[in-house]
Amino acid sequence: MSASAVPAPPADEAALEAALSAPDGATVAALAALPGDVIILGAGGKMGPSLARMARRAIADPGRRVVAVSRFADARAAEALAADGITVVRADLADPAQVAGLPWAPNVLWLAGQKFGTQGDPVGTWTHNVVASVHAAERYAGARVVCFSTGNVYGRTPVARGGSREADALVPDGEYAASTIGRERVFAAVARRAGSSLLLYRLFYACDLRYGIATELARRVLAREPIDLATGWVNVIWQGDANRLALRALALADAPPVALNVTGAMVAVRALAEEMGAAAGVAPVFTGAEAPDALVASVDALHARLPHEALPLDALCAWAVAWVRGGGRLLDRPTKYAVRDGRF
């Protein structure tokens, strides 16, 4: 863990959104070098709103649009984005006619997909993760695309190996991982035919305080609930960092496509919980023992291609404790990081 001075945590949701959507100089420079509008497909989910706001804050030219596309079941979320200067388009990305009518943009981020409820709705999972991807990949053939994916495409690997690398074979474990590989293959197939530039953004466990591994562990520590150590190692990244890296990754999209693991360094679950316990003044309770394998990533390529200064883990841990203890709003979106059979 870092010995850095911990910055003050966000005091409320407005401050949290401001922190999540704050671009750094590298993000501003990356978007300035890429002409044209930016469109975010699946912008109504966990990361979409703050990512759209960050893009809008990073682009100085008011003539360049940031377009957020989603069904937006929550009308207030759409209204808030529009108030921040973002062009909001309501569309069902599983409907080919609606996708065909979306505005064109040369810079595309695909965030749509389904993980939660995968086990009980395999047809819905493949519809959202693969079928919808076909429509979007065809609509934006020739564009520069960052396609969000997941570390689940690799499956578990021995912890001693240091995490999965981008060139590793993809080994699906369950419907979610298999359908996400399908999403990658769809975008790659269309990119190959159309000569599109594509980056597969394999994100491991972003945390924004309302959800994420850090928040889940903070809740357990504060409630003195046992923390199962069978999945003993994870990667975590502050969502603000993941947002900045996603926008910068547009500049790395290439033909043929490239893949990139995006997350923080591997860290022991025990160490995370103990850091939170120190911040909370509570001794965490553990059960079980660490298995020799886990869903973990090597981030060597990330740091070589997108050097950045991430939010220190001790700050993320302290922020999660403060958020939970202060009664901050939580989303019912468990990461299920401890699942070891691919059933989400």
Condensed to tens digits (0 to 9), the pLDDT of residues 163-189 reads 999 999 999 888 889 999 999 999 999
Mean pLDDT of 266-289: 96
Backbone angle region of 200, left / alpha / beta, with phi > 0 → left and psi within -120 to 50 → alpha: beta
Neighbours of 10 (CB within 10 A): 20
With b meaning 16 or more CB within 10 Å and e meaning fewer, what string describes 182-202? Answer: bbbebbbebbeebebbbbbbb
Amino acid found at 160: A
The answer to whether residues 201 and 323 touch, using CB atoms and an 8 Å cutoff, is no
The answer to whether residues 145 and 200 touch, using CB atoms and an 8 Å cutoff, is no
Amino acid found at 161: R
User: What pLDDT digit, counting tens, does each position of 29-75 carry?
Assistant: 999 999 999 999 999 998 999 999 999 999 999 999 999 999 998 89
Please list, in sequence order, all residues whose beta carbon lies within 8 angstroms of the beta carbon of residue 318, skipping any fewer than 6 positions away: 6, 9, 276, 279
pLDDT of residue 3: 46
User: What pLDDT digit, counting tens, does each position of 216-231 carry?
Assistant: 999 999 999 999 999 9
- 3-state secondary structure (DSSP) of residue 278: helix
Tokens linked to 169: 């074979």
What's the chain's length in residues? 344
The answer to whether residues 268 and 291 touch, using CB atoms and an 8 Å cutoff, is no
Mean pLDDT of 64-93: 96
Percent of the chain with pLDDT over 70: 96
Give the span between the Cα atoms of 270 and 338, in whole angstroms: 13
Amino acid found at 179: S
With cut-offs at 50, 70 and 90, classify the pLDDT of residue 2.
very low
Backbone angle region of 181, left / alpha / beta, with phi > 0 → left and psi within -120 to 50 → alpha: alpha
Point out which residues pair with 268 in neighbouring strands.
233
Give the span between the Cα atoms of 270 and 288, in whole angstroms: 11
Q: Which helix (H) or strand (E) holds 13?
A: helix 13-20
Residue 262 has pLDDT above 90, yes or no: yes
What are the extents of the domains in the chain? Answer: 13-204+239-263+297-307
pLDDT of residue 4: 54
With cut-offs at 50, 70 and 90, classify the pLDDT of residue 335.
confident
The answer to whether residues 211 and 204 touch, using CB atoms and an 8 Å cutoff, is no
Q: How far from 87 is each of 40, 79, 101, 113, CA to CA, in Å?
A: 10, 10, 15, 21
CATH number of 13-204+239-263+297-307: 3.40.50.720
Residue 118 has pLDDT above 90, yes or no: no
Q: For residue 268, which phi and psi values (nearest 5 degrees)?
A: -75, 135
More confident: 322 or 335: 322
Residue 7 has pLDDT above 90, yes or no: no
Candidates 255, 238, 256, 242; CA nearest to 302 is: 242
